[in-house]
Amino acid sequence: MKILTWNINGIRTRPSIKEDIESLDADIICFQETKVTRDMLEEPVAVVDGYNSYFSFSRKKTGYSGVATYCRESCTPVKAEEGLGGVLASGNGDVGCYGNLGYYGKEELESLDAEGRAIITQHTVRNSEGEVKDLAIINVYVPRVDSERDDRKEYKLRFLTLLQTRAEALLREGSYVIVLGDINTSHRMIDHCNPDSEEFNLRPDRQWLNRFLWSEGQDSSLEVKDEQELLQISTPDTKSGQFIDSFRYFYPDQEDAFTCWCTLTSSRVTNYGTRLDYILGDAGLVKSSLKACVQMVEVQGSDHCPVKAEFSLDGVPARKAPPLCAKYMPEFAGKQQKLSSFFVKAAKKESVNASEEVIELSSSQSSQESNKSVDSNTERKRPMEDSGKPTGKKPKLESKKSSEEGKQANLMSFFRKKQSSQTKPEPAKEKSTNERKSSDITNGNKIGDNDRIVDKKPVDASEKPVKSTDTKAETGKSSSAAWKGLLGGLGKPPLCKGHKEACVMRMVKKDGPNRFRQFYVCARAEGHSGNPEARCEHFEWLDKNKKKK
């Protein structure tokens, strides 16, 4: 049985999800960050011939977060359930088995399951001994930490603790358990291109992952001994060391084995990334049945690559898919229910459930919270194209823009392309060195720590390499500023000090005295500071003489 996880970064923008699924070649395919809510789900995505599919949707915002699991008919699950805490259970065909939820309030459980971050399928399998067992697959998209929002740090830790509570409860019932997905945490220093050596192991989400995983041979100094800290990442009922990282089981010390790269800085060509995507199996299952685990870095089309594991298990398909299966949704069940009546119902339901987030039902764009707007979507695809590296299947850009937004996005991409087309950054030919020293200018020394800029490197606060922080509101301003620059007759871009190649222009996006100021940096892809093929340290303001700090 082959099981795959992939943060697909938007399922609706794929040219054909059926082709994706077929080419990935796995029995159970788990996607995260589908960015699809029920109001947007269309039949070709929901119902794929030969598979049955299960979705969890965000109840807070449309087009945000979301996970989906597709199962080959040979592995049709017996049960399926949305969420971790039971509050979304339908009362029909649920997986059940929640563990002790007494440490969570009802409102908290509702909040933790309101973002469409978990789907559980339970399958019947036969192991190589011929024994028939249950296998629960928990597909999760763990929240990303926003360094400026303490409530999201807390949210992430509570999510992780709830995940562990559920996974261990299923395990106690005698089921095999696999937790997989975008865990949004790099585990060890070798899982991060630029680990902060002082703080790295102290971060609570990392301590949670350390604790969750099987710890034979693990550095005991990493054990959390402080009671307060321990309570932050566990409940008195959660145990430790029951799961194994499938990839590290085979490749315990492999360096540069990343699964996520910042698309904006082309850091995939220099392999300057992080490992955030995992297949974590219970120790009994992994030791008896895990045959292989690969990170499919050749698969393009998202800022993450897929991870696939093969187990010596045979699926025993259920005769009928559980009620949560997407093909039973009234909108796909051929019942001719009027779409308009469905949407009204969905909208009402969402507004009731929205407690803390702004509802954006009218928006068809990706969310602002995930920092991927029209402009950044356009921009994020560019570096790969400009690098001259074959990109494989490229997702189409969102087509449902308003004409105004579309125009602005196009202007910006035209402008940036023009800037960068004067020099094509070459993909790095050599593997980067192991040098960990950070001397990258974009991390703040020359700009000031408060300025988050467009092409910031992956930092610890948000595991995922930071993408453009444009918001829709900024798009207009950014493009008008860019046009002003263009019409004002920008001269040739300066040559970078390291390579004597034309620089690219970027803009400060974060609030602060330097907001919207433009600057030049080396056009090459971001990489380790010791890699001569990667971006050099060149930095200069476009308006050198103005409001210099």
Binding site for Zn ion (CB under 5 A): 496, 498-499, 522, 536
Please, which residue, 152 or 424, has the CB nearer to Zn ion? 424
Which one, 58 or 531, has the nearer CB to Zn ion? 531
**Does residue 328 have an active-site annotation?**
no
Of the residues 192, 304, 499, 528, only one is catalytic, namely: 304
Strands 132-141 and 176-182: parallel
Set 182, 282, 303, 455: catalytic member: 182
User: Minimum distance between the CB of residue 529 and Zn ion, rounded to whole angstroms?
Assistant: 12
Nearer to Zn ion, 317 or 498 (CB): 498
Residue 154: CB atoms within 10 Å? 13
Query: How far apart, in Å, are the Cα atoms of 2 and each of 52, 81, 276, 392?
Result: 16, 21, 20, 23
- Least distance (Å) from Zn ion to the CB of residue 492? 15
- Antiparallel, parallel or unpaired: β 28-32 and 67-72: antiparallel
As measured in angstroms, the least distance from the Cβ of 446 to Zn ion is 15
Pairing between β-strand 118-127 and β-strand 260-261 as defined by DSSP bridges: unpaired
CA distances (Å), 174 to each of 185, 284, 317, 466, in order? Answer: 28, 11, 19, 40
Quote the least distance from Cβ 440 to Zn ion, whole Å.
12
The letter for the amino acid at 81 is E
Mapped onto helix, strand or coil, the DSSP state of residue 222 is: helix
Catalytic residue among 98, 141, 155, 176: 141
The angle that helices 403-420 and 374-386 make with each other, rounded to 10 degrees, is: 30
Nearer to Zn ion, 406 or 498 (CB): 498
Shortest distance, CB of residue 533 to Zn ion, whole angstroms?
A: 10
Q: Which amino acid is at 302?
A: S
C-alpha radius of gyration, the chain, whole number: 23
Place of tokens 């092409």: 455
In the 8-state DSSP scheme, what is residue 367? Answer: P
Residues 6+ apart with CB under 8 A from 421: 386
Instruction: Give the DSSP letter of residue 352.
Output: H
Nearer to Zn ion, 485 or 498 (CB): 498
Cβ proximity to Zn ion: between 330 and 532 the closer is 532
> Smallest distance from the beta carbon of 538 to Zn ion, in angstroms?
5
DSSP letter string, 482-506: HHHHHHTT--PPPBPTTT--B-EEE
Confirm if 133 and 123 have CB atoms less than 8 A apart.
no
Q: How far apart are CA 94 and CA 116, in angstroms?
A: 16
Distance from C-alpha of 49 to C-alpha of 31, rounded to nearest angstrom? 17
CB nearer Zn ion, residue 427 or residue 498: 498
Q: Return the structure tokens found at 499.
A: 């390579």
Closest distance between Zn ion and the C-beta of residue 531, in Å? 11
Backbone angles phi, psi at 348, to 5 degrees: -60, -45
Q: How far is the CB of 482 from Zn ion (least distance, A)?
A: 22
The residue behind tokens 């360096």 is 255
- Please answer whether residues 11 and 36 qualify as being in contact, where contact means their C-beta atoms are separated by less than 8 angstroms: yes
- 348 token code pair: 């009402």
Q: Tell me which residue of 264, 308, 310, 307 sits closest to 285, measured CA to CA.
A: 310
Q: How far is the CB of 502 from Zn ion (least distance, A)?
A: 9
Asked if residues 191 and 200 have their Cβ atoms less than 8 Å apart, the reply is: no
Helix (H) or strand (E) holding 123, with range, is strand 118-127
Query: Quick one: 192 or 535, whose CB is closer to Zn ion?
Result: 535
Q: Is residue 51 annotated as a catalytic residue, yes or no? A: no
Nearer to Zn ion, 311 or 539 (CB): 539
**CA distance between the termini of the chain:** 59
3-state secondary structure of 93: coil
Residue (133 or 524) nearer to Zn ion, CB: 524
- Please give the backbone phi and psi of residue 244, each rounded to the nearest 5 degrees, phi first: -125, 135
Nearest-angstrom CA–CA distance, 67 and 184: 14
304 as an active site residue: the answer is yes
Measured from the CB of residue 521, what is the shortest distance to Zn ion in angstroms?
A: 8
Positions marked catalytic = 141, 182, 304
